[in-house]
Structure 1
Amino acid sequence: MQPSKPTPPRGRGIASNPRNRFEQTEYIPEPDSGIHDPNNKVQTRYFEDHTSDIISRNNSPDIPFSVGVNPYRGCEHGCVYCYARPTHEYLGFSSGLDFETKIMFKPKAPELLRKALGSRRWKPEPIAMSGVTDPYQPVERSLKITRGCLEVICAARQPVALITKNALIQRDIDLLAELAKWQCVVVNISITTLDSRLGRLMEPRTASPRQRLETVSKLRAAEIPVGVMIAPVIPGLNDEEIPSIIESAASAGALWFNTVPIRLPYSVKDVFRDWLQLNFPNKYEKIVSRIKDMRGGKLNDPNLRSRMRGEGIWPEQIKALRLLGLRRAKVVPYKATLTSEHFQPPESNGQMRMNFM
Structure 2
Amino acid sequence: MSQIVKGVIARSKDADVEVVDIVVPAPGPGEAVVKVEACGVCHTDLHYRQGGINDEFPFLLGHEAAGTVEAVGEGVTEVEPGDFVILNWRAVCGQCRACAKGKPWYCFATHNATQKMTLAEGDPMAGAELSPALGIGAFIEKTLVAAGQCTKVDREASAVAAGLLGCGVMAGFGAAVNTGAVTRGDSVAVIGCGGVGDAAVAGAAIAGATTIIAVDIDDRKLETAKRFGATHTVNSKENDPVEAIQALTGGHGADVVVEAVGRPETYKQAFYARDLAGTVVLVGVPTPDLEVTLPLADVFGRGGALKSSWYGDCLPSRDFPMLIDLYRQGRFDLDGFVTETIGLGDVESAFTKMHGGDVLRSVVVIDSQTEAPAGAPETEESKA
Give TM-score scaled by structure 1 length. Answer: 0.28
TM-score, with length taken from structure 2: 0.27
Higher strand residue share: 2
